[in-house]
Structures are given as C-alpha cells and as structure tokens.
C-alpha cells in the first residue's frame, strides 16, 4: 500500500494560494457588509473571488506593460499575477 500524500491549501508554491492570501487580505478594503460576508463564508469561495478580482484589477491597470509580467516569461505558460 502506498502512503497517502497530502498538500496544504496554504502552500506557497504551485499555485501559491498561501501567498495570494497573504498578499491580498491586507489590501482588501471592503464595506462592512461585504467584509462580514467574506468572514462568514466557511468555504472561502467569496474570499477567493474577491482576491481574484483584486489581482485582475492590478493586472488590468498594467495592461500596457505586459500586465505586470516580466519580459522573460514564456507566453505559452499560465501565470498568476500578484500585486507586489
């Protein structure tokens, strides 16, 4: 029997969900009603959607500069854009 291998959802590589949360959460300034909804959602889907929207807005503001991606990235690969 093979050992069971698990992976933490808060890992910081492939995809870096932990880093996305740590980068996005402090910048998330939301009205009280939205903030309460984010905190009450046990699935984390609302928080995930809010962080994705923030990342998309960050990239869109940099659309004329390759969406914030460095020039040496492979255009055929998928990339997660993050605010720095």
Chain segment 15-53, per-residue pLDDT in tens = 666 666 666 666 666 788 888 888 888 888 888 888 888
Query: Does residue 79 register a pLDDT over 80?
Result: no
Q: What is the pLDDT of residue 5?
A: 64
pTM over 0.85: no
Residue 4, pLDDT above cutoff 80? no
C-alpha–C-alpha distance, residues 44 and 39, integer Å: 8
Long-range CB contacts (within 8 A, 24+) of 76-80: 80/15, 80/16, 80/20, 80/55
């Amino acid at each position: 029997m093979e050992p069971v291998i698990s992976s933490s959802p808060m890992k910081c590589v492939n995809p870096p969900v932990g880093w996305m949360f740590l980068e996005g959460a402090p910048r998330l300034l939301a009205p009280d009603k939205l903030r309460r909804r984010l905190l009450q959602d046990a699935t984390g889907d609302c928080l995930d959607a809010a962080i994705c929207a923030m990342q998309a807005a960050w990239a869109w503001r940099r659309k004329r500069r390759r969406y914030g991606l460095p020039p040496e990235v492979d255009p055929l690969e998928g990339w997660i854009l993050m605010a720095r």
